[in-house]
Amino acid sequence: MMTRRRQLPVVTRYRPPKEVDNSRPTGFSPLEKENRRLWVELHFCRHIMRDHNITAKLTKKPDGSPNLYRWVCAVPGKAGTTWQGGYYKFYLCFTKDYPFVPPMCQFDPNFFHLNVLNGWLCSKWLRESGGGVYTPTLRIKELLLHIEEVLYTPNILELKDSYAKNLYYGEHDIYHLKVVNQAKEFKPATVKAAIARESA
């Protein structure tokens, strides 16, 4: 008489669930599909917002929808410099050809800086030719850190504002005082409130 073999239960090896990497965007909405690179850049700017107190947000169109091609940003003045205490707002303006065409950086038209003319920042990081160093691989978070640095270390080879230039070389005390007073105008709380109203 044949005896039936007893079947042993199958024991499966425990495998812990895979961790989800939330640091990478997974899906794209219709807005995000318009320029995926810009969406990815905005996503990675969260790190400098947290680590460097730098703001980068989408502005709103007249109908209230997000404007992917115009960002409202702000960088803090470096401690120990005449720029300290201020939180300086500006806009990054992109075209649909980004990243092959660099963005433009626009401050307030009356912003006082050696490398700013009528609000527009002149920087090698914002152009490809003419001594520029911009490339399509440059991350926006890196660009924002460069803009923060340009505030307190202007490029003396690209002096665009003749009034600021004359003060810088001829009446440095007055130049210094104007920068200090400007920092007082850009109070962090006031600037952040303005950004909250403008951002999507």
CATH number at residue 123: 3.10.110.10
Question: Mean pLDDT score of the chain, rounded to an integer?
Answer: 88
- The answer to the question of residue 168 being in a domain is yes
- Whether the per-residue pLDDT at 34 is higher than 80: the answer is no
φ, ψ for residue 151, nearest 5 deg? -55, -50
- Whether the per-residue pLDDT at 32 is higher than 80: the answer is no
Domain count along the chain: 1
- The answer to the question of residue 145 being in a domain is yes
Assigned token pair, 110: 């009356």
- The answer to the question of residue 28 being in a domain is no
What pLDDT is attached to residue 131? 84
Asked if 160 and 122 count as a contact pair (C-beta separation under 8 A), the reply is: yes
What pLDDT is attached to residue 69? 97
- The answer to the question of residue 180 being in a domain is yes
- The answer to the question of residue 23 being in a domain is no
- Whether the per-residue pLDDT at 181 is higher than 80: the answer is yes
| Position 5 confidence tier, pLDDT thresholds 50, 70, 90 | low
Cα angle 20-23-26, degrees, rounded to a multiple of 5: 70
Q: What is the pTM of this model?
A: 0.82
Is 122 assigned a catalytic role? yes
What pLDDT is attached to residue 196? 97
- Whether the per-residue pLDDT at 30 is higher than 60: the answer is no
- The answer to the question of residue 2 being in a domain is no
- Whether the per-residue pLDDT at 29 is higher than 50: the answer is yes
Whether the bond into 99 is cis, omega within 30 of 0: yes
Label the pairing between strands 120-121 and 66-76: unpaired
Interacting residues of 173 by C-beta distance below 8 A, sequence separation 6+: none
What pLDDT is attached to residue 20? 42
- The answer to the question of residue 6 being in a domain is no
How confident is the model over 108-116, as a mean pLDDT?
Answer: 97
- Whether the per-residue pLDDT at 33 is higher than 80: the answer is no
- Whether the per-residue pLDDT at 170 is higher than 70: the answer is yes
Lowest mean pLDDT, pick from 47-51, 177-181, 193-197: 47-51
Half-sphere exposure in the Cβ direction for 157 (13 Å, CA): 5
What pLDDT is attached to residue 23? 45
What pLDDT is attached to residue 21? 47
Cα torsion 124, 115, 196, 83: sign: positive
- The answer to the question of residue 8 being in a domain is no
Q: Of 45, 73, 105, 122, which one is the catalytic site residue?
A: 122
- Which range marks the domain in which residue 138 is found? 34-198
Interacting residues of 43 by C-beta distance below 8 A, sequence separation 6+: 24, 25
Per DSSP, 111 falls in state -
